[in-house]
Structure 1
């Protein structure tokens, strides 16, 4: 019976064959322990000299790291292993012998590992992070599908900047200027006017020259937009979504979280509702904490966000930022013209902002005014204005950065480990 490591629990006491790679190996004169991986998981293969042909034992002793093999053996329960099973090997067929695999069990520098990212992905740690990433994606589709959202794919090539910034990658689109998308939001607003509740999941690009552990040049965003949904309802959807994702990872990635040494007690507390603090109160809080350099109207940096997050056990919403700090499309506060109906969701443990969202302007005249204030070309945004011309309604949305969320939930320090092939300021390889 041919199977995978992830399915061996179905075949206890039976003989199976698994296609695998040798992650590691140790042997003595009478027994060899093979650490096998096949993508679905890791299992130990035990080869006892007295129980197999001499040639098979010699093959086992000679196996090198990352050699590919077909291994046949009997599945047995193993209470000493966190995985719970091991394979008592009866036969080994070498598919391809690996020689001088560059990433060994010893310590390697970050730059070396990044240069060999295509091979580093094979390690137990990176395997665990990618499995958690996959579970977050699965749980995302589950949440939005179960709550009546329709998946929509916005374009990656656009003719204008969704947030009116200059941090864009420009290219030629035949005889026109085009840009790699930094957000699908404006297109998702159009989709929400057609389908009510929509979400996108796709790559975005920011030409931001930042080297911090929180930044990538290319990253993935989940961007829901909802018609007839106002500010407070928007926050409720966000906290329900994040809670669902975290609890799904806790339920379905127990081994991976353990492999990463993640303190799951902190994740177990992530249940809606989440605390909220206004920008005004956040400024007061930061000054009381000794941040004398921060003034009303200043944006928050990583130290400020971390200080605020440390006051809570859950993600915290910072609400009602000054109008001047936020993009042109955000709805003003009904009682104040100096702040907008927006919120950033700050993850615990120093991982920073994972969601930015707001109620969107639905009044055409006000949106035109904001566009003039931001010096945005009317013709490029004509279609966006028309969303307010033909049956405009209050609507809201948000964007969650997948990689920061993966980093936070898995507990890795840098977002470069939370995406298969990171694009950083000085890295376009591999």
Structure 2
């Protein structure tokens, strides 16, 4: 009985300390992390390197050793500033450690500003952790209490070594070994994917996905517009459209989209590889369209639009296929569909258009004449950088071409 009372008392004290710490982080009316200019191609590629490492960490429960360069953190800062209005992240590395900052909008004029610093120890093992809330540095006893309370909930011991067993800092890089607890993955997704597209009926998703699989086995159909029709014929509401888009994304790009939809099962249904389909004879166009729709539905319009632009910037660098305004048009079309599904805009009209089974309804053939395969220097000379007048004018041109389809003519365009 006494032990239980002590545990409850300690838990209460820890929760009160955590609430006080969080309350102290709401400062001024602005974020601590400054805004960054729109990303350039090199920053996009650097951020993709960070993203690939994050996927490796989230895909295993074992510690992973890696190098974290400053360029990755700069890229993440630039991309998050470009993609999210309610979230900002950055990081700086020096010779003794690294500090990571997060600003999250809580209210219209209030921001949650948190930061943590990892400092290397002489032994090169687990780093020392220092927490900040706004301009306030947490005392060591509070940091220790938070670790004792929080780490066991994440599946580790009460020591930071359970998450970061090794840490070495240099001038512009960090050498570290780390693991991401499974319990933390869902929380990270909730912070990053903070749009209004939740509440997908996963049972309906699986039913539609099963129909698409059955159709592909019994009657192989490379025409993506026909596959979209097959999915759309099974729904008649906004919730149904959301489920159809998730099922189409699973069919086109694999079942990993279920993580965005809120599924936390370890074994996806029918873990088959994505099916090769074509829209206007192009193999990549279906992926551009449906992934942009899904990202917009689960996150927000700005993020969906930004990710399409980032993909083309990365493609414009050596080793890529070049900047394609045709692919960008498919992205922008998908953003409109995802926004309609999330907001419930003209659902009957959208579903009717998707049921047409005609490629030019999904993507007007006029966009196929847009420039593509542009190397970075050529794209930047003619259109770039992002958010500048020439590039925004080109996006408006694409929007006008999409309006030639009755599917998009009354839907709000993605905002350049």
TM-score clears 0.5: no
> Which has the larger strand fraction?
1
Normalization by structure 2: what TM-score?
0.30
Q: Hey, which of these two has a bigger chunk of helix by percent? A: 2
Q: TM-score, normalised by structure 1?
A: 0.29
